[in-house]
Chain A
């Protein structure tokens, strides 16, 4: 189960991993995610979005960034190893319709979950304009895949090392001003999604965002992932992860993401120490 077929490092700390999971591969839809756990007794459960899947081969692809202990441990697994527990597909699939022109905006690692959505919008017969952004050239991922499914691809970097030197909100605003945007989907860091929503708000263009909150079970039984949408409590794992960006309380969401900062820092620190110890041991032998 969940045997890793392929692993590739995309950029610094960003990995693409493909593993066997026939059921998820054939049942997943755009916008859905997984919960992964590396050890049934002591491992934590973390949510990761599905970046791609191949129903014929029965494989699922994830793209993740090493931001803490679990993602670092995951990045150390090799083809032939298995991921102990994978639950999915989770979350409500993206509502894909034929609406006209859709602008898909992806920031950083958020480009990965955006990929199946871009693909689905294109296959539904929409004109798809994709904007992807990263801090610099080295952190840009999935340019080719995005270009394959987009009618137009706009690439931005914060430092101008590739594409336009701009934030993703700049081309987004320009497109809205041209008046030909029917829908927007934005996935990336919360602050980016918040500003994308603020950019489109005056134009009243429907803007969907995909929220990435703290989760435990991913099935709706704990409410750890709750967010306020339109002044009501919603669970990201069941009601989401996609919501109307104009109705999400991003400030509270960003606040709640810091809930375990202290423990996470400690775990990550410990994990770095462990890795260094491991390296030193290897060198000694």
Chain B
């Protein structure tokens, strides 16, 4: 059959290709990736569902504006290399974004097929095709080191090796600038290494991306905390950097300010996930970093970090894991696929509930959590219905571990050690539309500017800042 002859109606009739995944009962006890990815045939068939809309609504939904219909069409024709090359014109980390982007609120939310079927989840599975193409290329060892322009003699310091920093580093290096990435941890990748677990994003993929940057000539300086090991000012005056990009993220965890938060057994999701992912505490026979022996776990919050922490706790051997969220499933900011996976794995969800106190035993260990029931009231300024507590509705759940995953705020270190750096009342760095800060030669992007957001938004910021740095260098000359 000549696939190019398919009309819109027959394309709409193709059911969305399922992506195979590990059996929930098995995967709940291992760190292996849950979603196994499309086969070449499945990717090609899924791509046939695309209607190749003239106005390309999906592209508007992509924060970095990937030419989605073009790469999907090429994928449908089996031209996988051309397809992945198309993605890379706009996005550097397709293997990562295909896995972690919340496509249902981005590209898939705008897809005509999904609109027709009245469900963004039934849209063309753009992320899965993107992921397939990136994996296909990587597994064949076909990833090419991008060409870099001749040396410009300009030096740029990148603070932080998360998605914003890595994107800015790659773009600047391609323009021929000398790039050094300063990272506080001993491994590069930011949240992609310490936060997002193996079962959602294999670390080998992140390591591969970092290796690609190294092969382009990007320097990585690990164990270097900008603000302490050296200040931004020292990087510019003493170390001779012509520009600095701050992509240090929003790493500081929020706590709830409720009684019992300092009991033994209460861990921020950042701490729990850092121990598990970066420090590999799940590998109990080999590692030195301990992780708490948990049996009944309460995770507080409804974002991706909450899902990751809950599913990690299960994999580390907890018998019962509960997610406590004060709104309903519809309002959960986590990726739809991860919520589904968590439910399949047997995580309990307590919606419309909020903790008011953590109770401890006589040795100071968590023994229970007291929650209050909520109902949804009028929509607030963000359009989400405001959760309202119901008086006298308190209930107790027996727990030995509580993991708040309530979001992060900007780390204060850089603003405290950098004079004249303008920040807003939440401590996020203030930038102009090209990501320039209040200090000449200093740019910022990603969560340190946006507050906690997504990998792809951070990449978009890194890209915009890199373009501005490059432009400012040229204009100065």
The reply to whether A222 and B268 form a contact with Cβ atoms under 8 Å apart is yes
Which segment of B69-77, B136-144, B209-217, B283-291 sits at the interface?
B283-291
Asked if B10 is at the interface of the complex by the 8 Å CB criterion, the answer is no
Asked if A166 is at the interface of the complex by the 8 Å CB criterion, the answer is no
The reply to whether B274 and A221 form a contact with Cβ atoms under 8 Å apart is yes
Asked if A119 is at the interface of the complex by the 8 Å CB criterion, the answer is no
Asked if A226 is at the interface of the complex by the 8 Å CB criterion, the answer is yes
Main SS of chain A's interface residues? mixed
Q: Residue-by-residue, is B183-196 near A (CB-CB < 8 Å gives 1, otherwise 0)? A: 01111000000100
Asked if B90 is at the interface of the complex by the 8 Å CB criterion, the answer is no
Asked if A255 is at the interface of the complex by the 8 Å CB criterion, the answer is yes
What is the bound-complex CA distance between A40 and B288, given in angstroms?
11
Q: Which among A42, A84, A87, A259 is the interface contact of B287 at CB below 8 angstroms?
A: A42
Q: A219-B251, A221-B253 are in contact. Are A42 and B274 (CB under 8 A)?
A: no
The reply to whether A264 and B274 form a contact with Cβ atoms under 8 Å apart is no
Q: Residue-by-residue, is B250-287 near A (CB-CB < 8 Å gives 1, otherwise 0)? A: 01110101000110110110110011000110010011
Closest B residue by C-beta to A263:
B290
What is the bound-complex CA distance between A86 and B221, given in angstroms?
12
Closest B residue by C-beta to A35:
B223
Q: Which among B279, B364, B411 is the interface contact of A45 at CB below 8 angstroms?
A: B279
The reply to whether B280 and A42 form a contact with Cβ atoms under 8 Å apart is yes
Q: Which residues of chain A come closer than 8 Å to B288, judged between CB atoms? A: 39, 42-44, 69-70, 267
Q: A42-B280, A44-B289, A223-B253 are in contact. Are A23 and B229 (CB under 8 A)?
A: yes
Q: A44-B287, A88-B228, A90-B225 are in contact. Are A260 and B292 (CB under 8 A)?
A: yes
Identify the interface centre among A24, A45, A70: most chain B CB within 10 Å of its CB: A45
Q: Which among A89, A216, A235, A258 is the interface contact of B275 at CB below 8 angstroms?
A: A216
The reply to whether A223 and B270 form a contact with Cβ atoms under 8 Å apart is yes
The reply to whether A220 and B289 form a contact with Cβ atoms under 8 Å apart is no
The reply to whether B292 and A259 form a contact with Cβ atoms under 8 Å apart is yes
What is the bound-complex CA distance between A202 and B428, given in angstroms?
42
What is the bound-complex CA distance between A219 and B250, given in angstroms?
12
The reply to whether A42 and B230 form a contact with Cβ atoms under 8 Å apart is no
The reply to whether A87 and B223 form a contact with Cβ atoms under 8 Å apart is yes
What is the bound-complex CA distance between A227 and B288, given in angstroms?
24
What is the bound-complex CA distance between A235 and B270, given in angstroms?
14
Shortest beta-carbon distance, B225 to chain A, in Å?
6
A contact residues, total (Cβ < 8 Å): 46
What is the bound-complex CA distance between A69 and B286, given in angstroms?
13
B contact residues, total (Cβ < 8 Å): 43
Shortest beta-carbon distance, A267 to chain B, in Å?
7
Asked if A56 is at the interface of the complex by the 8 Å CB criterion, the answer is no
What is the bound-complex CA distance between A262 and B365, given in angstroms?
13
The reply to whether A219 and B261 form a contact with Cβ atoms under 8 Å apart is no
Q: Residue-by-residue, is A203-217 near B (CB-CB < 8 Å gives 1, otherwise 0)? A: 000000000000011
Asked if B413 is at the interface of the complex by the 8 Å CB criterion, the answer is yes
Q: A255-B264, A260-B292 are in contact. Are A224 and B271 (CB under 8 A)?
A: yes
Closest A residue by C-beta to B289:
A44
The reply to whether B271 and A222 form a contact with Cβ atoms under 8 Å apart is yes
Shortest beta-carbon distance, B279 to chain A, in Å?
7
Asked if A164 is at the interface of the complex by the 8 Å CB criterion, the answer is no
Report A119-156 residues with CB < 8 Å from chain B CB: none
The reply to whether A223 and B268 form a contact with Cβ atoms under 8 Å apart is yes
What is the bound-complex CA distance between A233 and B279, given in angstroms?
25
The reply to whether B229 and A223 form a contact with Cβ atoms under 8 Å apart is no
What is the bound-complex CA distance between A226 and B413, given in angstroms?
16
The reply to whether B223 and A86 form a contact with Cβ atoms under 8 Å apart is yes
Q: Which among A69, A221, A226 is the interface contact of B262 at CB below 8 angstroms?
A: A226
Report A155-211 residues with CB < 8 Å from chain B CB: none
Shortest beta-carbon distance, B241 to chain A, in Å?
15
The reply to whether A216 and B222 form a contact with Cβ atoms under 8 Å apart is no
Q: Which residues of chain B come closer than 8 Å to A233, judged between CB atoms? A: 255, 257, 261-262
The reply to whether A24 and B229 form a contact with Cβ atoms under 8 Å apart is yes
Shortest beta-carbon distance, B190 to chain A, in Å?
10
The reply to whether B271 and A40 form a contact with Cβ atoms under 8 Å apart is no
Q: Which among A23, A45, A226, A249 is the interface contact of B230 at CB below 8 angstroms?
A: A23
What is the bound-complex CA distance between A12 and B396, given in angstroms?
50
Report B280-330 residues with CB < 8 Å from chain A CB: 280, 283, 286-293
Q: A43-B288, A216-B274 are in contact. Are A221 and B251 (CB under 8 A)?
A: yes
Q: Which residues of chain B come closer than 8 Å to A256, judged between CB atoms? A: 262, 264, 364
Asked if A55 is at the interface of the complex by the 8 Å CB criterion, the answer is no
Q: Which residues of chain A come closer than 8 Å to B271, judged between CB atoms? A: 216, 222-224
Closest A residue by C-beta to B273:
A222
Asked if A284 is at the interface of the complex by the 8 Å CB criterion, the answer is no
The reply to whether A45 and B228 form a contact with Cβ atoms under 8 Å apart is no
Q: A69-B288, A217-B184, A238-B413 are in contact. Are A44 and B264 (CB under 8 A)?
A: no
Q: Which residues of chain B come closer than 8 Å to A252, judged between CB atoms? A: 262, 364
The reply to whether A216 and B279 form a contact with Cβ atoms under 8 Å apart is yes
Asked if B412 is at the interface of the complex by the 8 Å CB criterion, the answer is yes
What is the bound-complex CA distance between A32 and B229, given in angstroms?
11
What is the bound-complex CA distance between A217 and B267, given in angstroms?
14
Shortest beta-carbon distance, A149 to chain B, in Å?
25
Closest A residue by C-beta to B290:
A263
In the complex, besides A219-B411, A221-B274, 13 extra interface pairs with C-beta distance below 8 angstroms are A23-B224, A23-B230, A85-B186, A87-B229, A217-B185, A219-B184, A219-B225, A221-B411, A222-B270, A223-B253, A233-B255, A256-B262, A262-B293
**Interface residue ranges, A against B (CB under 8 Å):** 23-24, 27, 32, 37, 39-45, 69-70, 84-90, 216-217, 219-224, 226-228, 233, 235, 238, 249, 252, 255-256, 258-260, 262-264, 267
Which 5 residue pairs of A and B lie closest in terms of their CB atoms, listed nearest first?
A221-B251, A263-B290, A222-B271, A44-B288, A44-B289
26 of the cross-chain contacts (CB-CB < 8 Å) are A23-B229, A40-B186, A41-B280, A42-B286, A42-B287, A44-B288, A87-B223, A88-B229, A89-B228, A216-B279, A219-B184, A219-B225, A220-B251, A221-B251, A221-B411, A222-B253, A222-B270, A223-B255, A223-B270, A226-B255, A228-B262, A233-B261, A238-B411, A252-B262, A258-B264, A263-B293
